[in-house]
Amino acid sequence: MALVSLRPVIDAAARYGYGQGAFNVNAVAQAKAAIEVHEMFRSPAILQGADLANGFMGGCTDFVHATLEDKKRGAKRIADAVKKYGENASIPVVLHLDHGKDFDSCKAAIDGGYTSVMIDGSSLPFDENVELTREVVRYAHAEGVSVEGELGVLAGVEDHVFAAGSTYTNPLRAVEFFKKTGVDALAISYGTMHGASKGKDVKLCLQIPAAIRECMDHEGIWGGLVSHGSSTVPAYIVEEINALGGAIKGAHGIPMEELKAAIRCGINKINVDTDIRLAVTRNMKELFRDEEALRRSGSVGEIYRLLEADKDKFDPRLFLPPIMDTVMTGEVLDQDTAKITDCIERGVKEVVGTLIVQFGSFGKAPLVQCRTLEEMKEFYQKNER
């Protein structure tokens, strides 16, 4: 099955009342594992490459300072990996840019093969956010590519996205934003947070998505609602990391019952990144505990030293530079590298499989009315507001 844009996948989630997880990938092995576990559960799949993930996959290990050229290379590598494992999959697969920070980043992703992009203009004044988002919509829809915007500010840190506090999304402004931009989906602020430290026993302001959905229905507006910063941060994984010598403190995610309630209130797409990072890092720590000889390995021993140097960190991108060729291409050069790749794949499958079941997307792949990008071009031409 060819890769599809976001819109038909979100449309099915909205029509049938389940949550569609969207999972960030930063390596070829992660893309492979994510597609395989979605196939196993017969779930539609949304794989996300964040703006800085593209920089990392472009070969810039200092990905915070990745250049546009790094991001262009990385976008194509992620797209090539998703195409390799997704084009012949039995499920619809979306490749989505997460937190594109400007028009050029979105264009680079589209040109590299992404089928959906997010433009994050949430830090801008409303009119400037509309203008930027509409510019991306015009370019993307002409290519059959879906667009997600953002209105409202989430607290927390994720890659280059940082805010000290939250600004909740105004439901009436959200409806106006849909009308003026023509976006396919809108990320809203209703109490979620980026990062692993969301606070204990988070309570979401569920009135916000419910009010937006009611206003949209009243106005006859179609659009998906997106929940960013929605990792559950499984306590058992954090505890396991710390038992292995880690030093992660204050890590709390969004309670699953809150996310399930949000789905019932109109949330369709749920973004998850931190959970995968945690599971992969725990698996690598376990591997080096159980196989001490790997600590001296010429190919992966440096990964162990990086893990030991940053006990309070859990982003695998900080530890994987010693095997960057494998990260970027998927080519496994020796048995030791194969063991690290296995850690990556098992971590992805553990987290993603659990959330597919919890969000309710299992068995829903046949419900998606798939359209090719060429068909989406025609659709957008006929339906542009």
Q: What confidence tens digit (pLDDT) does each residue in 66-123 have?
A: 988 998 899 899 999 999 999 899 999 999 999 888 999 899 889 989 999 999 999 8
The H or E element spanning position 162 is strand 161-163
3-class secondary-structure state, position 137: helix
The count of other CB atoms within 10 Å of the CB of residue 139 is 16
Q: Indicate which residue of 98, 184, 273, 315 is catalytic.
A: 98
Pick from 130, 210, 187, 211: which is nearest to 385 by CA? 130
pTM to 2 decimals?
0.93
What is the pLDDT at residue 156? 42
The dihedral of CA 336, 337, 339, 343: what is its sign?
Answer: positive
The answer to whether residues 142 and 112 touch, using CB atoms and an 8 Å cutoff, is: no
Task: Give the single-character DSSP code of 149.
Answer: E
pLDDT (tens digit, 9 = 90+) per residue, 317-371?
999 999 999 999 999 999 999 999 999 999 999 999 999 999 999 999 999 999 9
The predicted structure's pLDDT at residue 229: 85
- Percent pLDDT > 90 in the chain is 82
Task: Tell me the percentage of the chain whose pLDDT exceeds 70.
Answer: 94
Q: Tell me the average pLDDT of the chain.
A: 92
Give me the pLDDT at residue 199, please. Answer: 52
pLDDT score, position 232: 93
178: alpha, beta or left, given left = phi > 0 and alpha = psi -120 to 50? alpha
Q: Please state the rounded mean pLDDT for residues 238-263.
A: 94
- Over residues 258-283, the mean pLDDT reads 96
For the segment 228-246, the average pLDDT, to the nearest whole number, is 95
Q: Is 98 among the catalytic positions? A: yes
pLDDT band at 159 (very low <50, low <70, confident <90, very high): very low
Over range 200-204, report the average pLDDT.
74
- The residue count of the chain comes to 385
